[in-house]
């Protein structure tokens, strides 16, 4: 086991937190995690997090849904049992295509939306009965928490963090 | 202050002259009599083989379907088949062609009127396209004032400058309107033909006569003039008062007045726009009607208008004339282009699919004509106005790259020109359509006027609307998701 100690620095204002994150990054310390009660705009950029690829997955899920709709309408209405329903041309898929567009649209949206949400749940590791990973309940109300792993530099980190306006600095044993 | 460069001025004047020459040429070469038209038709069949033959082939194919469908729809009119030129005559001709020689003259007369309409229609398509774009830029501008949106404030002067093009296009529109209704020298609107409302005339058309409470020349002319007057009055007022706003310093009194007038304008615009699309476009096919047509025309012009705002903004920014505009503003314009492209597709498809699905003959003829005679532009339009923008502008990063938006925008503008083309041409020239000197000249002519009026208007006022209370916010506008290239982003986080 490597280092299992982390510093928890608490802040009460998102602007102060942003400046603290920038200060810690400037000193080339790794920030393990930041816990916030609400989204702080620009925090991901300040922490240097890679942009999300969720939109890209949604695009491909949408294409999947569209293909599924095309295949389904073609198989059911044209290949399997091409009946004359109210004079609609069921000789080829393209001839009857306008009638299928509402289905194609809805299935595209359905696939894109639901599969993206499920992807989000899986990547974020969220599910029912999941044990909360909250280090301090105050971070869901009015406190912000920055977690930095310690590698025998406790004193230096504490000094840096207290300069950034932290209201409370704790050293915690993890696990 | 921006300086309208001599080079651009010369370029625009050259476009106007070149366009005017081409327009004059197209009017000059249009057939003067039925004999001329016959000659042109003979040339089409003998020399210009491929082109003419393909038309004939298309016609043969569609006879089977069209004669059947149309005779159901316009059964009672067929008795009056000698009419000047509208859909009913087309049916009669479709039938007469099958019958053979003895109706040749009728056919020649029909083609003669279509060929005579060609230069007018070419002019009308471009005129309506540019007039509509300038108008919708003005409406978008009014909507930004009413919504008190902050991001677009730095673009206000760009939009005002583009709306300056409303004045010359309105004047030309007025001339076209008067030459159709008072002087009777163009024949684009079949219901204006002589005897259509007169039961004793061979041209009598009971269907159109039933609509004469709306479709009558004096009413049409007065309404058209009222539309143009309302739009130009607002433009004149808001431009003057927007410049006043810069130095007003009267506790936002001018600003609030501009707000109130814009609310009133949007209300009036929504009414006049609907009626304008019935009068100026749907009136070309007096036997056809569609309820969402006004919205459809609106969507087409709105997406073109946003594209034009983006183009002019990108150009002026590249000249350093818009210091307050950053990549986020461009990104927002591109989002609007993207969104309204899809909105247009939604309305286009809603109109098409409802008519296709129910397949009621009097409605379906509209699309039968367009699909048989205009297949390539009809289908290309959907690709250009929907498939291309949705794939190109979907990515957030691409939406702030100027050259990407220029490519996407050119395709969107081309697509919506075709859209207007397909709204107008099938009703006026039918199968005699082509894209040649007449159409290109009209485009160049109005493009030249556009460049001249827009950039000289932009040079006349401070490019930054200083008096607007949202100016500061607009200059600091920043969409968090995009990287700004070559801009100091130190003040953002």
Question: 3-state SS string over B3-26?
Answer: CCCHHHHHHHHHHHHHHHHHHHHH
The Cα A1–Cα B487 span in angstroms is 46
Cβ–Cβ below 8 Å for B396 and A98: no
At residue B51, the pLDDT reads 45
> Average model confidence (pLDDT) for chain B?
85
Chain A and chain B share a number of CB contacts under 8 A equal to 21
B394 and chain A: CB distance < 8 Å anywhere? yes
A98 closest CB neighbour out of B352, B480, B492: B352
The Cα B429–Cα B116 span in angstroms is 8
For an interface test with B, give the residue of A15, A45, A90 to mutate (most B CBs within 10 A): A45
Cβ–Cβ below 8 Å for A101 and B349: yes
Confidence of residue A175 (pLDDT cuts 50, 70, 90): low
At residue B85, the pLDDT reads 44
B480 and chain A: CB distance < 8 Å anywhere? yes
Confidence of residue B102 (pLDDT cuts 50, 70, 90): low
Cβ–Cβ below 8 Å for A98 and B349: yes
Which residues does chain A have within 8 Å of residue B359's beta carbon, measured at their own beta carbons? 87
Cβ–Cβ below 8 Å for A87 and B359: yes
A41 and chain B: CB distance < 8 Å anywhere? yes
Cβ–Cβ below 8 Å for A41 and B359: no
At residue B92, the pLDDT reads 45
Instruction: Sketch out chain A's domains with CATH numbers.
Output: 5-37+142-173 (3.30.70.1510), 53-124 (no CATH)
Cβ–Cβ below 8 Å for B359 and A55: no
At B367-399, the pLDDT tens digits run: 999 999 999 999 999 999 999 999 999 988 889
The Cα B305–Cα B136 span in angstroms is 6
Which residues does chain B have within 8 Å of residue A59's beta carbon, measured at their own beta carbons? 394
Poorest-pLDDT segment among A76-80, B269-273, B427-431: B427-431
User: What pTM does this model have?
Assistant: 0.87
Cβ–Cβ below 8 Å for A98 and B394: no
Q: What whole-number percentage of chain B has pLDDT above 90?
A: 64
- On the question of pLDDT at B67 being above 80, the answer is no
For an interface test with B, give the residue of A59, A90, A98 to mutate (most B CBs within 10 A): A98
| Domain segments of chain B as ranges | 6-32+121-492
The Cα A139–Cα A10 span in angstroms is 9
Which contiguous run of DSSP H or E holds residue A5? strand A5-11
In this structure, what token pair is assigned to residue B312?
Answer: 């002019």
B493 closest CB neighbour out of A18, A55, A99: A18
In this structure, what token pair is assigned to residue B267?
Answer: 């209300």
Pairing relationship of beta strands A5-11 and A144-149 according to DSSP bridges = antiparallel
Cβ–Cβ below 8 Å for B359 and A45: no
């Amino acid at each position: 086991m490597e280092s299992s100690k982390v510093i928890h620095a608490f802040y009460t204002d998102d602007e102060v937190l942003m400046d603290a994150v920038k200060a810690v990054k400037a000193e080339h310390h790794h920030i393990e995690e930041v816990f916030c009660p609400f989204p702080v705009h620009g925090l991901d950029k300040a922490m240097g997090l890679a942009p999300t690829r969720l939109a890209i997955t949604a695009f491909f899920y949408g294409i999947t849904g569209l293909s599924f709709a095309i295949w389904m309408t073609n198989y059911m209405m044209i290949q399997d049992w091409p009946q004359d329903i109210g004079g609609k041309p069921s000789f080829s898929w393209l001839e009857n295509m306008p009638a299928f567009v509402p289905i194609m649209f809805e299935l595209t949206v359905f696939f894109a939306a639901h599969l993206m949400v499920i992807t989000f749940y899986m990547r974020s590791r969220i599910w029912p009965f999941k044990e909360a990973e909250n280090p301090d309940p105050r971070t869901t109300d009015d406190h912000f928490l920055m977690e930095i792993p310690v590698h025998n530099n406790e004193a230096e980190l504490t000094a840096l963090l207290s300069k950034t306006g932290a209201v409370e600095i704790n050293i915690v044993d993890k696990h | 202050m921006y300086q309208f460069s001599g080079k651009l001025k010369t370029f625009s004047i050259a476009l106007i002259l070149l366009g005017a020459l081409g327009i004059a040429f197209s009017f000059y070469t249009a057939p003067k009599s039925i004999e001329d038209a016959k000659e042109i038709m003979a040339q089409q069949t003998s020399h210009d083989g491929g082109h003419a033959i393909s038309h004939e082939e298309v016609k043969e194919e569609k006879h089977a379907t069209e004669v059947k469908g149309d005779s159901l729809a316009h059964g009672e009119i067929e008795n009056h088949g000698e009419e000047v030129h509208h859909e009913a005559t087309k049916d009669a001709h479709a039938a007469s062609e099958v019958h053979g020689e003895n109706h040749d003259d009728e056919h020649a007369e029909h083609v003669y009127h279509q060929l005579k309409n060609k230069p007018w229609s070419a002019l009308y398509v471009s005129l309506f396209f540019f007039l509509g774009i300038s108008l919708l830029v003005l409406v978008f501008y009014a909507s930004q004032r009413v919504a008190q949106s902050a991001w677009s404030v730095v673009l206000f002067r760009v939009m005002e400058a583009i709306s300056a093009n409303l004045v010359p296009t309105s004047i030309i529109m007025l001339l076209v309107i008067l030459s159709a209704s008072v002087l009777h020298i163009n024949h684009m609107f079949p219901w204006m033909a002589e005897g259509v409302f007169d039961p004793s005339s061979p041209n009598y058309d009971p269907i159109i006569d039933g609509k004469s409470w709306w479709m009558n020349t004096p009413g049409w002319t007065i309404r058209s003039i009222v539309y143009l007057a309302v739009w130009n009055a607002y433009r004149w007022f808001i431009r003057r008062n927007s410049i006043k706003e810069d130095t007003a310093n009267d506790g936002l009194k001018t600003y609030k007045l501009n707000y109130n007038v814009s609310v009133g304008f949007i209300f009036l615009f929504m009414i006049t726009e609907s009626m304008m699309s019935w009068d100026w476009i749907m009136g070309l096919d007096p036997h056809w009607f569609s309820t969402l047509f006004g919205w459809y025309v609106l969507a087409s012009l709105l997406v073109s208008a946003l594209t034009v705002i983006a183009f002019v903004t990108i150009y002026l920014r590249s000249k350093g004339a818009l210091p307050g505009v950053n990549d986020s503003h461009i990104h927002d314009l591109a989002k609007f282009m993207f969104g309204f492209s899809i909105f247009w597709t939604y309305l286009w498809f809603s109109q098409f699919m409802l008519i296709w699905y129910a397949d009621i003959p009097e409605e379906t003829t509209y699309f039968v004509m367009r699909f048989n005679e205009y297949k390539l532009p009809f289908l290309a339009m959907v690709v250009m106005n929907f498939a291309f923008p949705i794939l190109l502008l979907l990515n957030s990063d691409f939406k702030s790259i100027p050259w990407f938006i220029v490519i996407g925008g050119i395709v969107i503008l081309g697509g919506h020109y075709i859209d207007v083309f397909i709204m107008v041409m099938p009703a006026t020239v039918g199968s005699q359509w082509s894209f040649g000197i007449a159409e290109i000249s009209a485009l160049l002519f109005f493009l030249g006027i556009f460049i001249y009026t827009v950039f000289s208007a932009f040079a006349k006022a401070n490019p930054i609307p200083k008096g607007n209370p949202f100016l500061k916010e607009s200059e600091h506008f920043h969409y968090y998701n995009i990287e700004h290239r070559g801009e100091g982003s130190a003040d953002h986080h």
